[in-house]
Each structure stands twice: as C-alpha cells, then as structure tokens.
Chain A
Amino acid sequence: MMRTGLAMSWARFLRPRGNRKGGPVMWHRKDLLGLEGLTRPELETILDRAERLKDILAQPEKKRTTLRGRSVLTLFFEASTRTRTSFEMAGKFLSADLTSISPSTSSAQKGETLLDTARNLEAMGFDLVVMRHQFSGAPQFLAERLAAHVINAGDGLHEHPTQGLLDMMTIREKKGRLDGLQVAIIGDIVHSRVARSDLWGLRAMGAQVRLAGPATMLPDDLSAFGVDTFTRPEEALEGADVVMMLRVQLERQQRGLFPTPHEYSRFWGLTPERLRLAKPDALVMHPGPMNRGLEIPTEVADGDQSVILEQVTNGVAVRMACLTLLLGVDDK
C-alpha cells in the first residue's frame, strides 16, 4: 500500500511543465528529503528560482498570490526558531495557508505514533508538510505514507536540504559560481546534517569539499563521504574559497567527544589567524545558531568576510523556491 502511494503521487509530477524559457522544468520529485542524489540541473532549477523569488524580499509589499489556496503544515518535532520561521515567512509571502504543530502541543506528547500522525494529517488534506524530526529517516517515513509533498527541515544526523541549498545560493551569489571552488567545512562532521547536505549539493555542483574536525567527531571510515577529511582545521583551510563553521552541540562534551569549550576553540575555532590560511576573499559561513567564542569568535562572525546574515535571507528565498517547485506552481 505504501509503495503504491508513492508511485501514484510521483506519477502526478512526471508530466513536464513549462518554465520561463519554455523548456521543461527539471523537477519531477514529490518530496525533498535530501540533496544526495539530486542532479546538477535539479539543483540549478531550485537555485535559479530562488534567485528570482528573492526579489519579493526587496519589495515594500511582500505578498504574492502564487500559493493561494495551498495548505502547508510545519511539523517540528525538534525545537527550531530560524528554520521554522524561515519556512513560515516563505509560505506567507506566497499566500499559502500555514499551520504549525510543535511537539509541546502535538499528540506525540500523548503517545501517538508517527504513522497515526501522518494518517491524520493526510485526512485533513494538507498539500505539503515541512518536517523536522530527531530521527534520521523520519521525513522519508512520512513521505512514503502521504500523498502530500514532504520537505525535510532536518532529520537526526541525516540531512537538512534547504540549509544546504541556502548555503549554495549564498556562495553562488557572492562568487558567481560553485564549480571549482574549495569549500572547507569544520566542526562536528559526523553528527551534522548540515555537513551532509552541503557536501552532496556542493559536490554535485562541481565544488571541492574538505572536512575537518576532532577525530571524535569524524566518521571512523574517513572515506565514507569520498572527500578529503582532516583532524587539523589548518589543512582544510589552506587556500579555501569558503569556510563553513558548524555549530558545536554542548551536550557532546558530556558524551566525552571534546574535553572543554576552551580546548575546542583553541584547536578548531576559526580564529582570525586561522582564517588567514584561506584565500583573502574567502567567505565565512555558519548555519546558526552560533556559539560565539567557541567555534567562531565575534570578530570573525561579524567581520568583513562573514555572510552569515545573508545566508538567513537566502533561506527564505530558497524555501519559497522549494514550496513552489514541489507544489508544481509556476513562480510568476
């Protein structure tokens, strides 16, 4: 039953639709669960559309009717401010009907299974569900069981595709391209869904990715991601065009993955001296929320090379693009 559901809802999107150039839109997926496996044309379709939709954010009247009559649910089983607000702003600017459910108000607290939650949502007729969950694979679980479209807003340690897309959009905007760029991602690699989405997306677009972090926060199989992986950040930073710092989860200290915040910042923090190893015009990025003074000192976070707030702006644009593409609506 679950497989049939998937096949049927896919089939609805297999017929080609026109885009502004009159050619077929490179988008036929029901859901956005991750960037792994997306092709370069698919990624470009999202990024191009996000660039066009970003214009809305510069208008005094930020309202279009693109998604009027479409119902979007944000279903966050894990706390989030930035991502959730960003999806909600994106939906509102395009006139979608938005509903939010969070763990404290949801029936998950009353012991309802995810399967029952999914069936209930289906019965209410949502067109699209934006979901964050603490377990890797939970959005896929939902997507296989719902006719509604599902966007993964972060699942466990797995992926956070719209974060990856907003990172790519920001880099492309600043550098004019992604092809051939050297991107260093530094921090808790093994537990980072942001690192995974960035990695798949950037590689598909022709960028080179290097990973660095404490040995306790790297996969044991360093070839797992098929990219260069280092324990010393200096090796990853050398000549980089982009430096992406990952948030350190403080609870990892209790699990023994690093001894003290001080030691972490000393060996893996992006100090101004370390940043000088990268290209002089290297971009400094962070998915937020930042631990100032831990993985990134204030002078770098707020420095000339930082594009951290532009990432946030682009997040809204990318999410508008994803909502319209998945719902099969033209962005006019």
Chain B
Amino acid sequence: MKSWRELPLPEVLVIRGGRVLDPASGLDDVADVVVEEGVIRRVGPDAGEGYARRAGEEGGRIRVLDARGLVVTPGLIDMHVHLREPGQDYKEDIASGTRAAACGGFTAVAAMPNTQPVIDTLPLVEFVRTQAERHGAARVYPIGAVTKGSQGQELAPIGEMAEGGATAFSDDGHPVATAELMRLALLYAGQFGRVVIDHCEEKSLTQGGSMHRGRVSTLLGLHGMPSTGEDIAVARNLMLAEETGNRLHIAHLSTGRSLELVRQAKARGVQVTCEVTPHHLVLTDESLEQHRYDTNYKMSPPLRPAEDVEALRRGLADGTIDCIATDHAPHHADDKEVPFPEAAFGIVGLETALGLVLTHLVQPGVLSLSQAIAALSLAPARILGVPGGTLAEGAPGDITVIDPAALWTVDPSQFASRGRNTPFGGLRLTGRAVHTVVGGRLVMENGELNI
C-alpha cells in the first residue's frame, strides 16, 4: 500500500477561515494556515488571502481548503498504539493501523514493541521505520523494548535502537517485574535522552484477573484485578524515577490512587508524565454489569469504578495527567469471540478517540477544547521529543481539521483498522476529523482517505 509520502504535495496548502487552535502559542482565533512544501509558513488572519486569489490561475500548485466553521489544530499524536506488525498482521499492520490513525485525525502514532518478534534490536526498529515509510498513512515513531524479548531479564540494546530512531522504550504488556531492572532501565535509557514508558502492573496481584476487582467482578464470578495491582507498581516506579532523576512515563493511568501518587511526585519535582485512555475517561466497570461477559469491555488496565473515572477527569483537567493516548489494541474476532476469561485484553481506539473526547469531555465542560487538543497533540510530542504538536512557523505541516458539530454513529464495520473490537459500536458522537494533513499532504479529505 502507498505511503503518505507518495501523495501529491501541493506547493502551497492554505486552510482558510477556520478557528485555529495552537496550544503551544495559546492562539485560539479565526485565521488562515499556510503550508509551503510541507512546512508551516504562516498563521494569521487572512494570511492565505493572496494565495487563495491566485489558486485558480496557478492550476493545482495551490490547494485551498475552506475551513469556515471548522477547527484547525496541530496534527493529533497518539503515543500508545499497537500496530501488530511484524507477526500479527491478521489483527492489524502498519498500513491498516496508520489508515485508522488518519481517519481518526491522527498524523502520528508511537508503535508499541510487543509484536512478534518483539522490537528489541536495531534491525527490527529499522524494519518498523521502513514499513512505515513504504505503507504508512501517518508518521510512525517506533518504541523499542526495554528488555530483550520483553522477558524482563536483561536490558535490550537501548542505545543502538535510540540511534536508529526508537523514540521511547517500553515493555508494555509485560511490565518490568523487578525493581532493580526498572532502576537500571531508567538510568540506561536516560543517558540516551529517552523516556521509559511503563504499563504499571504488579502481576502477583492481578494474575488470572480479567476485570476490575470489586462489586461487579464478585457478581459475575470473574477473577479481579485490584486497583492496588496498578498503584503499587506506580509507587515503585515513581520512587525509582525520583532516585535516578530520569524520565518516566506512566501508560494508561486508571485509578484515583495512582493519580494522587503522580500528583505528589510531580510536586516533588520527579520527572514523570502520564497518559489516560478515552475509554478509562468514559466507561466504568459497571458497563460489565449491563453488558455481561462482553469481551469488548475487557482491557488492561480494566475499566474502574465511577470514583476513579471522576478522579481521572479532574486529573486531566488540572494537568496532573499530561496526555490522552488510546492504547489502540486491535484483535481478530477469534481472539475476542471466546469466554470472557480467555479473551484477549484491549480495544481499538484510533477512530473513536477524538469523537469520545469532544462528546464526553469537551461538550460537558470537563476540558476546554484547547486543553483537549493539547492533550492529544502538544503534550505527546513533548513527551516523546518528536516534531509536531504545534502550528508554529517552521513546524512540519501536520494538521488536523475538525468539524466540531458533525453528528455521527460509530460503525465498527466501516473502520479502516482491521480490529472491530470496540465497546462503542452504535454510539452517537458529536465531532470528528474531516481533513488530516501529514507533511502538507491531504491524507484524509472531507472524511475520505486519499490513500
């Protein structure tokens, strides 16, 4: 399949008259965005007027998008996705996963290394980059494994992988079990300027569990995963980050207690950032009381009680939680259409994230639109240390144009992702991406992929 780089690059792309939101500069005003040769050149009221007048005469060299009534933001970045390539292309691959990203308004994703084989050496990092260059509909930032094979025994060649383009390191799904190895990983990755991302889970407490341990797991007779299973690992990692002085990023925070621990650590100056998924912000474990044993509600960390969801929403609003990431985890029906305890963990997220955030967080006033966009673009760019996340002059021409009023219904059968595993099928949402621009190229236009 084609890569976004093979799409025609307009000499000038003008996005006219939208509400331009750039959290990095605080800009929130009606303006034009001018992209030249794939790089952002000018942002300002009527900045594109001259080009727009010449567009007709200069046959195709200048593209003008009418963005009146729309919101123009930095390209969204999802720092936590599973693209399943190499090895599990029956679930997803880089081509299908990045198309799902573009459909959801994401111009870049960071790919977790728990593929088959695990991305734990330089050639494998290069493989992911090459595949993305050949077939990607969005930018792909590879994440390397912390330990060889994510086995938690010996450090993987983090330095070589960092040189080869790995932007961060994580044993996501197989969290680093021993405190000593985690300490070494923080120190080792830190010297290469890389952040360690941990899926915080104390496995001795969660083994065999398939949902949050509480009233509903008791009711359904399912082995539970207690909140302490996350909190203890978060506490451990925060102390190690504090001791080493190195950067830690906590993946998909899901409990109020963990949030409190992060809040305290940040107050002490610990170099920690964290993310939350849209599903942990909008669903509770009570969903499983209603949709009994529906494996589309099975994920790790599990859906938590309403108090946790409330705390996470507050944490995102007050900045304790830095960003929103989907943990996009596509699975084949074969992995999900089995009894609940046997089913794979995880749901797809790329094509529903923006709609969920706009409908369930921005519309009710939990987050301002600008906060939501910052959490979906600027914050992950800063955490990963990658370009983008801003509409500043000279930044890459990665732009998402959103129709905040678009009413739509989630239809998994129409997903670009190969994964159909979502609990949100049939849900009515307000707001979605209509144009996705990667490097100045229109990957998605008027809600349709060009690729």
Contact = CB atoms under 8 A, between A and B. Distances in A.
A140 B220 CA distance: 11
A115 B342 CA distance: 12
Nearest to A190: B218
B293 A140 contact: yes
B221 A196 contact: yes
Given A136-B221, A137-B293, A155-B221, A221 B340 contact: no
A247 B339 CA distance: 25
B267 interface: no
Interface stretch (A44-52, A156-164, A323-331): A156-164
B222 interface: yes
Nearest to A142: B339
B124 to A, nearest CB: 30
Interface residues of B, number: 19
17 contacts: A113-B338, A114-B338, A114-B339, A135-B341, A136-B220, A137-B339, A138-B339, A141-B338, A141-B339, A141-B340, A158-B220, A159-B221, A190-B218, A220-B213, A221-B215, A221-B218, A225-B218
Given A156-B221, A221-B215, A137 B226 contact: no
A146 B338 CA distance: 14
A221 to B, nearest CB: 5
Q: Is the interface of B mostly helix, strand, loop or mixed?
A: loop
B221 A158 contact: yes
Contacts of A140: 292-293
Interface in B295-351: 334, 337-342
A248 B215 CA distance: 23
A114 B339 CA distance: 8
Contacts of A115: 337-338
Interface in A83-123: 113-115
B293 A141 contact: yes
A133 interface: yes
Contacts of A138: 339
Interface in B173-224: 213-215, 218-223
Contacts of A30: none
A219 interface: yes
A223 interface: yes
B218 A136 contact: no
A136 B293 contact: yes
Interface of A: 36, 113-115, 133, 135-138, 140-141, 155-159, 190, 193, 196, 219-221, 223-225
A35 B220 CA distance: 12
Contacts of B220: 136-137, 158
Contacts of B215: 219, 221, 223-224
A204 B342 CA distance: 32
A193 B235 CA distance: 35
A133 B218 contact: no
Contacts of B338: 113-115, 141
Contact of A137 (B213, B218, B334, B340): B340
A220 B292 contact: no
B339 A133 contact: yes
B150 to A, nearest CB: 26
Contacts of B340: 135-137, 141
B68 to A, nearest CB: 42
Contacts of A190: 218
A141 B292 CA distance: 10
Contacts of A136: 220-222, 293, 339-341
Contact of A156 (B213, B226, B337, B341): B341
A131 to B, nearest CB: 11
Contacts of A133: 339
Contacts of B339: 114, 133, 135-138, 141
A193 B220 CA distance: 10
B12 to A, nearest CB: 50
A135 B342 CA distance: 8
Contacts of B342: 135
Contacts of B341: 135-137, 156
Nearest to B216: A224
Nearest to B305: A221
Given A114-B339, A133-B339, 11 more contacts: A136-B222, A140-B292, A141-B338, A156-B221, A156-B222, A158-B220, A158-B221, A219-B218, A220-B214, A223-B215, A225-B218
Contacts of B293: 136-137, 140-141
A100 B223 CA distance: 29
Nearest to B342: A135
A216 to B, nearest CB: 14
Contacts of B226: 220
A182 to B, nearest CB: 22
A224 B292 contact: no
6 closest Cβ pairs, A-B complex: A158-B221, A137-B293, A157-B221, A224-B218, A136-B221, A135-B339
B219 A157 contact: no
A159 B213 CA distance: 18
B400 to A, nearest CB: 35
A233 B338 CA distance: 39
B73 to A, nearest CB: 38
A66 to B, nearest CB: 32
A224 B214 CA distance: 8
B292 A221 contact: no
B215 to A, nearest CB: 5
Nearest to B337: A115
A310 to B, nearest CB: 27
A102 B338 CA distance: 19
B114 to A, nearest CB: 23
A25 B329 CA distance: 47
A251 to B, nearest CB: 13
A61 to B, nearest CB: 41
Contacts of B221: 136, 155-159, 193, 196
B399 to A, nearest CB: 41
Contacts of A114: 338-339
Which residue of A113, A115, A220, A225 has the most chain B CB atoms within 10 A of its CB atom?
Answer: A220
A137 B337 contact: no
A221 B221 CA distance: 13
B285 to A, nearest CB: 11
A20 to B, nearest CB: 35
Contacts of A155: 221
Contacts of B337: 115
A11 to B, nearest CB: 21
A225 B219 CA distance: 7
B213 A224 contact: no
Nearest to B228: A220
Contacts of A219: 215, 218
B292 A137 contact: yes
A285 to B, nearest CB: 21
A223 B340 CA distance: 24
Between B215, B220, B226, B339, the greatest number of chain A beta carbons within 10 A of the residue's beta carbon is seen for: B339
A134 to B, nearest CB: 8
Give the interface centre of A114, A136, A223 by most chain B CB atoms within 10 Å: A136
Contacts of B334: 113
